[in-house]
Amino acid sequence: MTTTSGAGDLSDALLAPVRPANAFEETVGRLLQIIRLGVFAPGEAIPPERDLAGRLGVSRDTVREAIKALADAGFLVSRRGRYGGTFLTDTLPAPEPVSQPVTAAELDDALRVREILEVGAARMAAGRTFSAAEREALWGRLTDMRGAGGDDYRRLDSRLHLAIAEATGAPSLVAMVADNRMRINRLLDRIPLLDPNLAHSEEQHEAILIAILTGNADAAADAMRVHVEGTATLLHGFLD
């Protein structure tokens, strides 16, 4: 097995340089992604403007304009003073309702890409060696989800799956999983949260993490495949 370099910060992988032609739009999109995927929790501070500008490869003016746009939309709030900064709002705006139906091709594409990425991520993560702190941090993502519901569940579920991708040590994979997870979450927003499914998912998440942390790559891949297939079955059932 290889050794991980640390639990790291998911935002390192997700806040990569944007394309200059659409710097403002892509900055807004990247910030929305880390908000929607639970990289930062409601009420938590995001990195300062100078840091964001450096990571995204844009000017501080562009970052400032993007933050203002997201503040106006209800996602962020800026506070002055000794403990000031830019924070997620305590209650994030709900996703806009979508009336346009999902095509079978769109649904199949999102689900197939998810299986390829996340089953592979689970297998690769199981091939790595974790320090005690890294193991605790990864398991903590599952602990955070226990008893969660509604918007909190979706956010924490996304954060757990991104943490598994991060555990592979491949930042580019984290970005790909994040992009696909945004697609999956938009689909999941169209169907109800079912309590028995949440309980079942919790059991599956535990099986995935146990396999990863014990270095059983085949079991990790199999457990992740079963998990994503369950989600796919629900989405097909409600949306087909």
In CATH, what number does 7-88 get?
1.10.10.10
Domain ranges of the chain: 7-88, 104-239
Say if residues 211 and 126 touch (Cβ distance below 8 Å): yes
Question: Cα–Cα distances in Å, from 27 out to 15, 188, 205, 213?
Answer: 9, 25, 32, 35
**pLDDT-derived band at 32, boundaries 50, 70, 90:** confident
Quick one: what percent of the chain has pLDDT higher than 90? Answer: 54
pLDDT higher at 153 or 229: 229
Mean confidence (pLDDT) of the chain: 88
Round to whole Å and give the CA distance between 189 and 118: 20
Query: Could you tell me which residues come within 8 angstroms of residue 25 by beta carbon, excluding any fewer than 6 positions away?
Result: none
Distance between CA atoms of 136 and 210, rounded to whole angstroms?
12
* Closest listed residue to residue 60, CA positions, set 112, 97, 21, 24: 24
Q: Is the confidence at residue 222, as pLDDT, over 90? A: yes
Phi, psi values for residue 139, rounded to 5°: -65, -30
Answer whether 162's CB lies under 8 Å from 39's CB.
yes
Strand partners, 77: 87
Residue 36 has a pLDDT of 84
Confidence of residue 2 (pLDDT cuts 50, 70, 90): very low
Give me the DSSP letters along 171-235: HHHHHHHHHHHHHHHHHHTTS---HHHHHHHHHHHHHHHHHHHTT-HHHHHHHHHHHHHHHHHHH
Per-residue pLDDT, 4: 41
Q: Is the model more confident about 24 or about 195?
A: 24
Q: Are 35 and 92 in contact (CB under 8 A)?
A: yes
As a whole number of angstroms, the distance between CA 18 and CA 9 comes to 18
Lowest mean pLDDT among 27-41, 103-117, 159-173: 27-41
The reported pLDDT for the residue numbered 1 is 45
pTM more than 0.75: yes
> What is the predicted pLDDT for the residue at 9?
65
Indicate the class that CATH gives domain 104-239. mainly alpha
Alpha-carbon distance of 201 to 93, in angstroms, equals 25
Q: What is the DSSP letter of 21?
A: G
Q: List beta partners, residue 103.
A: none
Classify residue 119 by burial, with Cβ atoms within 10 Å: 0-12, 13-18, 19+.
Answer: buried
Could you give the CA distance from residue 193 to residue 126 in angstroms, rounded to a whole number?
A: 29
- Give me the pLDDT at residue 125, please: 96
Tens of pLDDT, residues 96-150: 666 678 899 999 999 999 999 999 999 999 999 999 999 999 999 999 888 777 6
Q: Check for a shared fold between 7-88 and 104-239.
A: no
* Cα separation, 117 vs 173, whole angstroms: 8
